[in-house]
Each structure stands twice: as structure tokens, then as C-alpha cells.
Structure 1
Amino acid sequence: MRYSIMKTARSTPQICPKEQAFGSRHNVTPKDPVQVYCRLRPMSHPDDISCITIESSNAMIVIPPESAINLRNGNQRTLLASFDHLFGTDATQIQVFDVVALPLIQNLLKGKNSLLFTYGVTASGKTYTMTGDLQNQGIMPRCLNVIFNSILQYQAKRYVFKPDKMNGFDIQNEEDALLDRKKDLRWGTSKCKGKNINREYDKTESDTATSSVSSSSHSDALILTVDQDNAYAVFITYVEVYNNSVYDLLEETEIRPKTMQSKIIREDSNKNMYIHAVTEVEVKSSKEALQIFNYGQQRRRVAHTALNAESSRSHSVFTIRLVQAPLDSSGEKIVQDKRVIVISQISLVDLAGSERTNRSKNTGQRLREAGNINNSLMTLRKCLEILHENQTQSTNKLVPYRDSKLTHLFKNYFDGEGQVRMIVCVNPRADDYDETIQVIKFAEITQEVKVLRPVARRLDLGYTPGRRQANNNFREAQNRLEKNGYAEAMDLELDLNLVYSLGGPFPSLEVKSAHDEQTITTLMRFLEQRIIKQKSLSADLQKKQSELRNMLVVLERDNISLKIENATLKVSSEEQKRKINTLQTHVCKAETQVDILIQKLNAANDAIRFLQQEVKNKDVVLNQKMMEKERTKIKYNNKIQAKTEKMNKELEDKLKQQRENLEAKMKNKEEKLNLVKQIISSDDPVVVNENQAPVVDGKLSPSSNNLQQTESETVNDLVSIPIVNPRYRRSKSADIWLDHRPQHLVPLGTIFQPHMSSRKSVNQLLDPKDITDRTSRYCLVSQQDVNGELETKLYKGEILPTSSGGAQVVFNDMECLKQTSPIPKRKHSGQTPQKERQPSPETSGLSKKLRL
């Protein structure tokens, strides 16, 4: 999309000479005294005693305490000090800014330089006044807010103005600036690499406006008047003067601040002092500027002293430089001429506090820093005193600016390159009286020093004022026409050169002498050019009037046709409205029916949800019952299992007891049989006494007592046997053996097995029915290991019914099967051990005994 712009004969700007455009320092201009303001810090503790009484809005009375040195020396007891304005302890940051700093920002926007520094003893509130905190912003952030609010819509794109490293700036064309923006965007960081400050590069001026408004707070809403036909850019620098050396706090270096390289103070072509190779960062919003300031603030040197927890050990200088240049005749691009650039700056200086060694208790490095701070402040005071002396006594003494880096840097301000203001911060405590007196005396000397009033640096290239706004309005009209379908809108031409401009201001009319023809000649030439331009403007105005008449005729014709078309459209529009009303009625009925159906559907959904909830509740109750039933089942199963185990244990105990009793009886019977066998095999006469105890060789046998005991037990056993039918007989063909075998029997593996034609095998007896159920004979098998030999015994008996309906087992036979290891033989014999079943004579004897 292309458009053309008409150019007139005055499209090339006529740049005035340097003396006429910017003025000269040597011209006779009025002088203004250095304005000094005083701010009292609130008491830190309620028990502190104040030595200052506020007399008025610009005066105060200082009353020395009894411990003061001046009182002991016999000096005046009270001191009346006056200032341009006095801020009490209840003064806010906004009040200080409006009175002190706001006029300096107005001068900055007009192209004038300014210097503002805070002075006072340590811990008197200098840094708080200059920077403030998050809740109460100080002078510096409020200055940034006002500047960016004022130039919000008129900022140039980034890198259009570029520092030339010689205290000046170059103007780049759009292509070069775009390359620099892309390069910086590719790296993604600002010049302060140490803090990784991310930037968003604005593609349009509206992006810059949005970022600036988001960082605004009282001063944030304040907007000052600026020239709308200029393009603006803001650059900031931040340095410190430490031990009489200048260090760049924004320098691109990874070196620790204590080992940074100091900078050199030089003089540019206009005799202005500047810091060589200092880092100048272009910022587009106050938020971005504060981020960079915080980065430099972290590198500034502070330390803990006895009077202040964070005492500044250096003088900090934060400089805001405003660069402005006029737009061309079309109001779109910046004039590509370095000579039209106007640079103004405001330096905000936070001086380190003066200290007395006997109070701060400094030693070593802190003592050296305090000495350099006091020396630089003393040099500043000395320079002001000599300036005052030269001005009052008409002397021409050399001012020792070069004795200190601080005074050398601000030499131009005191020589008339800007307005100077000072804020004296005072701590009203009685303990700080001696230091406060020195600060007030220095303020009195400063007030008497006068500096040249700065001259506004205005540029007049003869361009039409308001051309930026006219160009914006023209572009908006073109865009509107293009959206409405007028393709020829972009071919419209814009002419802003010959409108409301008759040239620059009148030359000087002051006639120095009666023969001063040069002034009259200059005025005549100026008036002739003005008359010629007036005629050309009149001709152009008549031409435009005729063109406007023709355009009005065409527009009137178009207006008539549009009226006819509009009437037709009104008729059709009314018909469409009637149809729309009818359709709206149908829609309302349909919506009513839909609402009724929705209500029914909601009711049905509520019923469904209610039934689903009931089903869920019943499922929960059913699950609870099932769980309760399962728990009851488990509970009863555990009880049954416990009872079963208890009964099994009791039965096992009974069987074990019976087995032990039977084994004891069998052992007694074996002893008796052995005794009988011994008697039979013995050749000695045997005599039986009355108790039937055998007597061998006239002596009672040792086992007679045991025999008597065994016979008595046998009689007792017979007595305890239930009454049975002794004549009870059963056919041998119907005999069924009850084979009672334990579970863990060792298999014999021999041919000697008990002969039982039919049998019923059990491992344990749990029920009496196991004995009485179709069985007539009983066999109990037991095994034991006797001296390494396996011995198996079979106790046999008959099952006889009792009179009570039960059964009685009467043992009448026992078989003993022993399995012994054969005597070891030679390997070549190849014989294997044999298992023998040898019925012992004891077994046969016991059988005979039981049968008897």
C-alpha cells in the first residue's frame, strides 16, 4: 500500500546558527541563587530530645543542649536558620517532590539542565528522601513517572537515538535502528548482563504507552505539557564517587565492585563535563528504569557503622538524560540531522553523610572511607565559599573544582549550565546538635551563591505546529475510508507545509545605536519574506476554497441520491421489522413451551435422582447386612473351630493318659513274668508266704512288693470293668477288627503282619460309635525306639457290649514285633540285614495271664 505526500519548496529545514539556536553562556543573563530546602527527620525513639523548633514554613530555631561543644565555648545559645522551604517531620514524599523536584522536571522537558543533591550527616534521611521505599516513593522514582507520563505518546523507537560516546547522540535511520533492535532481541538481555534484565522491545508506540502506564502511582497520574511535534528518548546513567574515584555501577563486568576500573572525567566540545565511557541505558518505562537502578544499587558500597546500619560509603549520581528531536514536515519521521538534537539532563545526587570519628567508631577501611567523604564535602564547601567571595567581592580567585571528583563533575552547573537545588536533611536530636550546626552553616553559604539562569533550548525549523496530530488524523481518515470500501482513499495527498505558518520568530528589535542599520535591514528582510509567504498562503487558501466548493457540490449530489436510497431502505426496513415482530411472537411461544418442557424434565431428573439415591441407600443397607452376616458366620466358625480343637485336645489327653496307664500295667506284668521265669529257672527252693510273695533261700524276693502291687492293681482293674455278659459269643466269621493305628507309624516292610480278615482302620477315636459300630475285635498298634531298635506292639482285645448299652474292650493278647540290625559282616558276603518277628516268651506268658 503506497501513498504520496506533496512537498513544497520549504521541505528542507533551515537550521539557525549555534549561538542563535542554543544561546551562549557569555550573554548577559540574570542569575538566581542556589535554592536550599530543609527536611526534618522524625524522631526514632519517643525518649529522644529535639533541639529544633519550627518557626514558620521557611525558618526554624536551633537550641543547643547543655552537652553541646558550642555552648561550652560560649557561643550563641540559639540560632535562627531560614530556607526556601522547611519541611517538618510530618511532611510527605509527595509534598517534597511537588515543591522541590517538579519544577526541575518542567525545565528538563523544556531543554534545561538541573542538579539536585541531598546533604546532611549520616542517618538523617538523605537516601529515603531521594529513593524512598515501596510504600513511599522518593524523588527519583516520581521524576521517572512524571517524565514517562508526559512523553508517553511521543517516544521514539528504541535505538533511533544512539550515544556517540562523546556526551552526544546520533540519529539512526529506521533500517539501522531495526537491525539493532533485532540484535538486542536475539541476545534477550539489556546492557546490564549481570542482572539479566529482560526487555520487551516495543514494536509500536502504543506498546511503550501500555508498559509505562502499568508502572504508574500521585506523581504517576501527573502529566506535563510537551511539544507534540518532537520525538523523545530517555537514557539513564548511575555512577558513584568512592574514595575520590568514579565507578560505573551499570558497567558490563563480572568483576567485584571493589576491583572495578575507575572512570575518567572529560570535557566535551561544548565545555560540558562528562564521564568517559560511562554506560548509558535507554529505557522506555519507569519500571524498566527502576529495575536498572536497583541493579546498580546492589553494587553500591554500603557498610554498617555505629550511627547507621546501612551507611552509604560513596556519593551516588543518578542522571536522567532526555533527548528530543523534531519531526519532519509530514509529522512522521525524525529529521536526520544531529544538529537539531536537544539534550537535557537532571542529576540526582545522594551525598554520603558527613561523620565524626569519635561518634561513628570507624577504624581501618571505614575510617579511610569516612576521611574521603569528609574531604570531598569539604572541597564542595570550599568551592561554594570561593564562588560566593568572587560574586560578592568581585574577585577572580580560582575555584578548586579539580580537587575532588565530585566538584569536578558538577563544575558546569555552578558555571551556569543548569539550575541547582539542595535538600538539607537534618536529624533534630540533641545528640546530633554539633553536626546539625555545621550543616546549617553550609546551607547558609550555599544560599548566597548565585548561578546563571539556564536558557531554554528551543528549535524552530519553520515547520507547521501540530503536524504529528494532523498526520495521525489523516491516517485515521484514510483507514476509515478504506474499511468502508473506498479503494482510492490511499491515493489522497497530504499537505501540511503551508498551513498557519508564517515563519520563525521576529529577530531582535533592540537598537544599540542610532546608526544601527543592520538591525533595521534584518527586520526589513524578515518582513518581506513574511509578506511573500502571506501572499502564497492567501493564493493557496483561495485554491483550496474553490476545490472545497467543487467537493461540496459533488457531495450534495451524492447526498440527494443517498436520501432517495435511504427512503427506499426505510420502507424495506419497516417490512422487515414487521416480519421480525411476527417471528419474535412465535419465538416467545416456543420459548414458553420449551420452559415448560424444561421444568418437566427437571422434575423427572429430580425424581430419578431421588430414586437413585434410595437405591444407593438400600444397597448400602444390604451391603451392611451382608457384611454383618459374614462377620457372624466367621465368628461362629471361629467358635466351632475353637471348640473342636479343644475337644480334640481333651480326647488326645485322655488317650495319652490311658496309654500311659496301660503301658504301666504292661510293664508291671512283664516284671511279674520275669520274676516267675526267674523262679522257674532258679534251683533254690521257693516259699510262698501268706501274701503269696516268693521267697528265695529263706528271703523275700526283691520284686515281691511289686508283684503284690501289680496283683492288687489287676484286682482293682477287674473291679472297675463294667458288668458284661461273660457268655456273650459271636461267630468268628462275623468278626470285624477295629484297627487303631496312629498317623505317624514307621512302615515295617516285612512279611510279619498281623492277620485280620476284615478290619476297619482308624487313626483316632472321637466318637463311641466308632467302637460299637459293627466291630467285635480291637487292635491298638504302637511303636517305640528301644536302644536304637524299632519295636512295634499290637494290643488285641474283644469288644463286649455292656448292660448300659455301651461297649467294653477286654485285652487278651499282645504281639511284639522287633526289627533289629544284624551284626556287621564283611562286604563280600553280599547279605542284607533281615527283619525278624520273634514273639518273646513274655508275650505268650502275658497272653496266658490275661486269658486266665
Structure 2
Amino acid sequence: MATRKRGITPARDQVRRKKLSLDETDNIEVFCRLCPYSGSTPSLIAIDDASVQTVLPPAQYRRENAPQVEKVFGFGHVFSEADGQEVVFEKTSRDLILNLLRGQNSLLFTYGVTGSGKTYTMTGKPTESDTGLLPRTLDVIFNSINNRVDKCVFYPAALNTFEIRSTLDAHMKRHQMAVDRLSTSREITDRYYEAIKLSGYNDDMVCSVFVSYVEIYNNYCYDLLEDAKNASRVLTKRELRQDRQQQVYVDGAKDVEVSSSEEALEVFCLGEERRRVSSTILNKDSSRSHSVFTIKLVMAPRARDAKNVYPEMDSTQIVVSQLCLVDLAGSERAKRTQNVGERLAEANSINQSLMTLRQCIDVLRRNQKSNSNIEQVPYRQSKLTHLFRTYLEGNGKIRMVICVNPKPEDYDENLSALAFAEESQTIEVKKQVERMPTDRIPHSFFTQWNSELDGAVQIDVDRAETPCPPTFCLRDYNDNDTVESLRIYARKLSVLQDSSDDGASSSLLSLVRQYMLEADYQRIEIARLKDTLSDKDEEIEKLRGFCRRYKRDCASMKERIAKYEQGEQENQMAMEKLVEQKMEDRKIIQSQKKAMRNVRELIDNPSPSVASLRSRFDQENMGLQPSAPMQTPPPPYQTPGRAPVYRKRLEAAVSTTAVNGSGSSSNGANGQQGYVNPKYQRRSKSASRLLDHQPVHRVPTGTVLQSRTPGNAIKTTKPELHQLNKSGEYRLTHQEVDQEGNISTNIVKGDVIPTVSGGTAVFFHDIEKLTHESPGVRK
């Protein structure tokens, strides 16, 4: 028994490992639509046409431990509450219809929380302002296509393909279907019609429109158009298959051919009656399944010799494009809906399928970021993602419309949905390959050329008729007349055979006509391309002129900017100089104010008189308490912050010791330890240093007798602490005027003695007077 050979596992697609250029890919486009909200606390607001911002709702509507941060989400376009259905259709569906007419596939689906307006956006109501995307799309498609064939010419075959019937078979099939024709309801007849017509359909193609309607309920596929007559019949579960082009389709789903938008809407309404819809706490008409309405445009090249609109009998040239309109069921929370039983199971299935869609998007995003570690996308975990696989792998354009309700109760769910929708925009999908034939001569040119040629050239296409044979009846063996008639007939046949070209002229004529047709078309096409090239050259030259002008403007602008920057820099430097000059002027003013304060203090606080110092000295030597404290000259100028420092210096410089005349102990009368020793000698008298304290403004007296001042004496008008520390003796010079106007100079002498606290004290022991008197005055 031969062993079964194991099949080779197919390798990963190497194309997916390569980074595709921007020209080869399209991103998933996401549009956001805000549901009208009449409350006072919206949780979402539209910032502009491309951004929406979350607003923190009241605390009772937020989850615990949730981030309390307002976020901004960006999308391709944001529809505010004021944007109607017409605006949404123009932005989201118009270019997808053009893709359908050009043979490209597209997917448009609505996404969001339950009760956010997804079904209203897709279907709407029959009025002009409320008509949804699906009815408007059907109207525009039938307004834009030409050369529609009669019904039953195209028909769906096996494996998601289409075939072409002959004229007779199509006629018989139409006769059979006349009995089953659906009647159009009054509601559809009286609805609003979209009158937009798009240009872009190829007139060389003939077409027909097919629609199908399926739903995904509890992760099973059902055909909503199955046995449309019997609405009570239980629907059959359908499987998903792949056709020869690797497109995923619902096996056994019915494709219904329609000839108008009214008929297509009638089919849609029949399927809508079977769709699962129920009432919940959050939504009166809540969709319990995902619905997929597919519009297929079947096209084929038009036959040349057909008098009517009919395709060529070649099924390999059929092009099928489809537009998939999907209304996803909204995600739900069991805590809010309070669903139980069957409704709870439906909600779980809906949430699971939407979660699988998110997982597929996340895996695709990670695969695009990493070339080495490619993960397998879990398409087959859900029927919804399995059906979307064709589009996610590059066989069509994908567009999402996320619907959100700004009411604060939906804040947390909207936050998650908006984050997923924003991340979906990063997914890149390969662009579709052009499938429409481009090498055919347009049918309009073919018809016009043949009519012009037939009118200009008269071609004899008549053929000599074959003569009828004579009556062959021999009367006897001498019947020469009958034999002669047979000879004449034979000669005529011989002449007719010689003149006949055996059909060669006819085939040659058709071949010449074909060559002439192609030559004329190529000549016209070359002339058109030359005109286009000439227009492009003119446009390029014009753009070059603009470019040169912009370069000159840019250069002059740079020069002006450089001048402005230089001027700004100079102004900045001048400003800095002015600030510095202002600071210097301020310092000068402050120093002048300081000097003025010093002068004012000198004027307001005169120096102590020699008499007061002498009285104080005498009282201390006699052991008496001074009658009044000695007035100490204030400093020339002090700031508030330096007052304590100056006070310490003053205490150290001019502090006196209360001692008696007998030179008793330094301990006080109360027996406490003294703070100065009056018997202390700092150094030897020969090495003593004198601190000579002179008045600031000394009046010259011309005295003959002068006090002797050592050469190493320190002369100052304001004693400092460090000067006292270096001196052993202190001498204060003071001048005063008596009542007669005589000037006397008092020199107070003292010794500088260190204190117990580490400072210095001055112990005064002598006053020397130099007095001037007038000779004629006696006391």
C-alpha cells in the first residue's frame, strides 16, 4: 500500500514582507459622525472638520480608576450634529460609486455603540433630509450607468462567477420570470430620489446590476433573500467559501438581478423584514445581527455586430465589481442593557465578533511595523472578519463611518470605540489592479466610422443568382430539346463558377475594413495624444515660469528676512545697552541718595559734647552711676539689614566698664563675673598702637600747642572693629564752641581692652583740653 504523500505547506506571501510604496497602498479611511444631542452635558464635541474632543462627564457616568483626561481624536472628516444625510453621502459614498463604475471593489461599514445612529445613517427614512446612504447609492448607480442589457442575459453561475446566455435563452428566461415579478410598494414609489449622475462609466461595456442581502447572526450567515415568497420559512445557515480570485463569498446566497433602484429597494425591504431586530432598554429598534447588502455591477464588452445592446459571447471578459454596504450591530454592556437569555447571547456574539475585528486590525498594524515577525491574522475566528478578509488583504477600498452619541452615559464605550477607529487609519491596504479592458476601439467610433464608410463608398455586394435547373424529363431517345436545355444550364453554371471568387473577396473586404478602422482610430488617438502633450508642455512651461518667479520672490524674501533679523538683533543690543545704562544710572542715584541720607543724619544727630564725655568719665571714676547715658555718635549711614552688625561694632568700639576709682575687682556689686579687666595691658607701652578718631569736619584753629601723634597711629573718622582689634590706645578729638564764641578742642584718651565675649571695650582715663580765649576777656 502506497503511503500518502504529505502536501507541501505553502510559504508565506513574500510580497507582504516588502514595504509597499505610498503609490501602491491606500489607508483605511475613517469618518466620524456625531448623533444629535439635546442635553446640557455632552461628552463629545467637534473641534473642527477633522477632530473630535472628549469632555469629562459627571462623576456618576465615569468608571472607577478611569483616567480623568480629555482626549482629542483625529479622523478623515468629522460630521457635526448639523450635517445632514446629504453631506454624509457626498463625503463617504460618492467616490466609492465611481470605483464601482470603473470595475473596483469597495467596502463601507458603520461602527459604533448601540443607539448611536448606524442604521439611520445607512438606510434613513423616505424623506429628502433623512434618506440614507443605501437608497442614495442605488439611485446614483442607476443614473450613471449606460448600455444596460435586458434581464437574464447575465446569470450567476457556480463559484461566485457569472455567465452569458444566448438571445433565445435570455428571452425564454424573461418570459418565465414575468410571472414572479415583484410589485413596487407605494412607500418606495413616493420616496425621495437622488438625481446625481456621475461620469466615468465605460460606454464600450454593457452591464447589469445584481444585489444580495445576508446577515451574520450568532456567528452564522443567513441569506435574507432565500425563498422570498415564503417569509415564515426558517433560514438556512450558509458557509463562507473562496472563489478562484481568492474572494470570500457566502455560498448559496441569492443574487437578484434588478433593473432600477425601486426594484433594488423592494428586494432590500423583503430582506429587511427577515432581519433580527428587537427592543432593548437602550434602543427601541436594536439590530441583533450584522447585515451585509452587496451591489454587484456585472460588465462585459459590447458585441460589434449586434444591432441591440448585447455582450460578446465570451465569459472570460466579464468584469464584476461590487460595493458592500455593511450595517454592524452596536456593542452592548449587559450591565446597562440588563439583557437576559436570548438577548444576552446575542449581545455576547455581537461583542465577540467586534472584538475579533479589533484583534485583526491590531495584528495587521503590528505586521506592517515588523518585517521579520509576521503574525497570523485571526480572520476565521469570526464570520464577520472572514467576510472582510477580501478587502483587508487588498481587494478593495475600505471606509468606516463611526457613529457616536455624545450623551454622558456612553462616555466610556465611546472612548474605546474612538480609539479603535483612530488606530484603524494606520492600516495600509494594497491598491487594486486595473481590470477594465483598455485596448478596444470605442463602440461609438466603430459605429460612426462604418456609417461614414458605407455612405462614401458603394461596394457591390450583389451575387449572381444561380439559375434554376430545367425540367429533366426524357420522352424518348430522340428527345434532343431536353438534352440541349441541360447543356445550356451547364454552361451557365460554368460561367457562374468562373466569375465567383469562392468568398475570398468578402473576407478580404472585411479584413481591409478592419485595418482601415484601426488605422483611422490610431491616427485620431495619436493626434489627441499630441494635443494633450502640447497642452502638458505649455502647462509645464507655465509652471516653470511660476517656479522661477517663486524662486526670485523667495530669494528677495530671504534678503528681507535677513535684514529684519539684523535690525532686530541691533535693536536687541541697543535695548540691552539701554537697560545697562539705566541700571548704572539707578546705582548712581542710589549712591547719591545714600550720601544725602548720611549728610542728613549728620545734621540731625550732632556728635556728643566733650562736657558730657567728661561728666561721664568723672562719674565712673567716682563710682557713681551716670546721670544720663553717653550719647554715641550714630554711623554716617546704615541700611536696615546692617543695623545688628553696626550695633555689635558700636558696642565693641565704645563700650565702657563701670569701675570704681580705687580699681576694685572686675566683678560687679552683685558678685557676678565681670566682662572686662581694666588692669589688662594689651602690649607694652613702647609697642602700643594708637587709634586716632578725628571728626569728619574739623575746624582749623592754628593752635601752637599740638598733641603728639605717633607715626604708626591709625587715623579715621569712623572706627571699625578690625581697627580696634589692632590698637591698644584710643583717642577721640572733639571740638565745641562756648558762649563767647571761643573754640576748644577736647582730646579724650582711653585704653582698648578685650572683653569676655571676644569683642573690645574702651576704658577712658584722661581728657586733654586745648582752649582759645581772647586777651581782654576775664572770667
Under a length normalisation based on structure 2, what TM-score does the superposition of the two structures give?
0.54
Letter paired with 1:198:
S
CA–CA separation in structure 2 for the residues paired with 1:217 and 1:254: 27
Counterparts of residues 135-284 of structure 1 (less than 5 Å): 135=127, 136-151=130-145, 153-185=146-178, 188-190=179-181, 197-198=182-183, 217=192, 219-252=194-227, 259-284=234-259
Alignment partner for residue 111 of structure 1, among 103, 107, 117?
103
The alpha-carbon deviation at position 429 of structure 1 amounts to 0.6
Structure 2: segments with no counterpart, 5+ residues: 1-14, 457-508, 527-779
Q: Equivalent residue for 2:343? A: 366
Q: What is the match of residue 410 of structure 1?
A: 388
The amino acid across from 2:183 in the alignment is N
Give me the whole-angstrom Cα distance separating, in 2, the residues matched to 1:67 and 1:76.
10
* Structural mapping, 1:37-56, within 5 Å: 37-43=31-37, 46-47=38-39, 49-56=41-48
**Following superposition of structure 1 onto structure 2, how do residues 504-583 of structure 1 map, counting pairs within 5 Å?**
none
- What does residue 338 of structure 1 align with? 315
- Equivalent position SS for 1:434: helix
- The structure-2 alpha-carbon separation of the partners of 1:99 and 1:47, relative to structure 1 and needing over 3 Å to count, comes to closer
Task: State the Cα distance separating 1:374 from its structure 2 match.
Answer: 0.2
1:132-153 deviation digits (Å, cap 9, x = unpaired) = 10112111111111110011x4
Per-residue CA deviations over 1:10-69 (Å, capped at 9, x if unaligned) read xxxxxxxxxxxxxx99996611110000000002xx345211121110101101213367
Larger radius of gyration: 1
Letter paired with 1:155:
R
Give 3-state SS (helix, strand or coil) of 1:134's partner: coil
The change in CA–CA distance for 1:248 and 1:220 in structure 2 (over 3 A counts) is: same
The answer on 1:289 being equivalent to 2:264 is yes
- Residues in 2 aligned to 1:453 and 1:319: alpha-carbon distance in whole angstroms: 20
Q: CA deviation at 1:88?
A: 0.3
Change (3 A) 1:502 1:78: farther
Q: CA distance change for structure 1 residues 467 and 428 in 2, over 3 Å: closer, same or farther?
A: same
How far apart are 1:177 and its partner, in Å? 0.4
Specify whether residues 67 and 254 from structure 1 end up closer, same or farther in structure 2 by C-alpha distance, changes over 3 A only: farther
Q: Which has the higher helix share?
A: 1
Aligned partners of 2:268 and 2:363: how far apart in 1? Answer: 35
CA distance in 1, matches of 2:513, 2:287: 55
- 8 Å CA contact retained: 1:163, 1:169: yes
Residues 304-337 of structure 1 show CA distances to partners (whole Å, capped at 9, x for unaligned) of 1000011000000000000011112346431110
How far the C-alpha of 1:502 sits from its partner, in A, is 5.1
Deviation at 1:198, TM superposition (A): 3.5
CA contact (8 A) 1:189 1:198 kept: no
Contact residue 330 and residue 467 of structure 1 kept, 8 A = no
Deviations 1:357-409 (Å, cap 9, x if unpaired)?
11111111000000000000000010000000100122310000000000111
**Residue 474 to residue 266, structure 1, CA distance change in 2 (3 Å):** farther
| Offset at residue 464 of structure 1 (A) | 3.9
Equivalent positions of 1:617-628 (< 5 A) are none
For the Cα contact (< 8 Å) 2:100–2:321, is it kept in 1? yes
Cα deviation, residue 449, structure 1: 1.0
Change in 2 beyond 3 A, CA 1:54/1:362: same
Equivalent position SS for 2:394: helix
Match of 1:125 among 111, 117, 120: 117
Aligned to 1:398: 376
For 2:437, the aligned partner's letter is: L
Query: Which amino acid is 2:176 matched to?
Result: K
Check 1:258–1:312 CA distance in 2 against 1; reply closer, same or farther (3 A cut): farther
The alignment status of 1:377 with 2:354, answered yes or no, reads yes
Gaps of 5+ in 1: 1-23, 191-196, 201-210, 479-492, 505-529, 535-852
Tell me how far 1:184 sits from its aligned partner.
Answer: 1.2
Is residue 81–residue 440 contact of structure 1 (8 Å, CA) maintained in 2?
yes
Q: Secondary structure at the match of 1:233?
A: strand
Residue number in structure 2 paired with 1:443: 421
Structure 2 residue aligned with 1:91: 83
Q: CA deviation at 1:254?
A: 6.7
User: Residue 270 of structure 1 aligns to a residue in which SS?
Assistant: coil
Give CA-to-partner distance per residue, 1:179-210, whole Å, 9 cap, x none. Answer: 1011112xx114xxxxxx2389xxxxxxxxxx
Q: CA deviation at 1:73?
A: 1.4
Query: Does the alignment pair 1:348 with 2:325?
Result: yes
**Shift in Å, 1:162:** 0.6
- Is 2:302–2:443's contact at 8 Å kept on the other side of the alignment? no
Select which of 283, 299, 305 maps to 2:280: 305
Paired residues of 2:221 and 2:237 also in contact (CA < 8 A): yes
Structure 2 residue matching 1:299: 3-state secondary structure: coil
2:27 to 23, 33, 43: 33
Whether contact under 8 Å (2:207, 2:299) holds in the other structure is yes
Q: CA deviation at 1:70?
A: 5.7
Identity %: 39
- Alignment map for 1:396-795 (pairs within 5 Å): 396-467=374-445, 470=448, 497=514, 501=518
Describe the SS at the equivalent of 1:146.
helix
SS of the residue 2:298 aligns to: strand
Q: Which residue of 2 aligns with 1:757?
A: none
Counterparts of 2:85 and 2:514 in 1: how far apart (Å)?
46
Cα root mean square deviation, aligned: 3.3
Instruction: Give the distance between the partners of 1:225 and 1:216, measured in 2 at CA.
Output: 27
Comparing 283-292 with 60-69, which one deviates more in the overlay? Answer: 60-69
Classify 1:282/1:62 alpha carbon distance in 2 versus 1 (closer, same or farther; 3 Å). same
CA contact (8 A) 2:139 2:193 kept: no
Q: CA–CA distance in 1 between the matches of 2:520 and 2:398? A: 35
Structure-1-length-normalised TM-score: 0.49
Q: Deviations over 1:215-262 (max 9, x none)?
A: 894732323331111101000000000000000000016776683210
Match 1:78 to one of 65, 70, 73: 70
Query: Structure 1: which amino acid aligns with 2:101?
Result: L
Q: Distance in 2 between matches of 1:389 and 1:143?
A: 35
Q: 1:54 to 1:500 in 2, by over 3 A?
A: farther
Give how far 1:465 is off: 4.5
Matched to 1:166, the amino acid is L
**Separation of aligned partners in 2, 1:90 and 1:138:** 16
Query: What is the total number of aligned residue pairs between the two structures?
Result: 449
What is the CA–CA distance in structure 2 between the aligned matches of 1:76 and 1:476, rounded to whole Å? 82
Contact 1:464 1:498 in 2 (8 A): no
Distance 2:114 2:162 in 1: 38
Q: Which moved more, 1:252-261 or 1:290-299?
A: 252-261
Is the aligned partner of 1:61 residue 2:53?
yes
Measured at CA, do residues 60 and 337 of structure 1 come closer, stay the same or move farther in structure 2, by a change above 3 Å? same
| Structure 1 contact 162–171 (Cα < 8 Å) conserved | yes
Q: 1:199 to 1:66 in 2, by over 3 A?
A: closer
Secondary structure, in 3 states, of the residue corresponding to 2:413? helix
